[in-house]
Amino acid sequence: MAILRCPICQQNFDSETTRAMPFCSPRCKQIDLGRWFNEEYRLPIVPDPEDDEPSESLFPDNGDANQN
């Protein structure tokens, strides 16, 4: 038995007794599905400064790899 927190309604529930893991209820699972359809689950794109200057190096992490 584990007490989990429903990602939708934020209420605690028992993983053993719920009919809709990982949610407290089929209802909250349904709401979650609606949010997928509505494209509400978004990941912020963190701008990567290294993307600006495409490096020809095989190992962009250490820029001195190709030094001769």
15 binds another protein (CB under 8 A): no
Q: Which of residues 18-37 bind another protein (CB under 8 A)?
A: 20-23, 26-37
- Choose, by CB under 8 A, the member of 1, 17, 42, 49 that binds another protein: 42
Task: Tell me the two tokens of residue 34.
Answer: 């609606």
48 binds another protein (CB under 8 A): yes
> Is residue 8 part of the contact set for another protein (CB under 8 A)?
yes
Helix/strand/coil (H/E/C) assignment for every residue in 10-41: CCEEECCCCCECCECCHHHHHHHHHHHHCCCC
Residue 41, token pair as written in the block:
């689950």
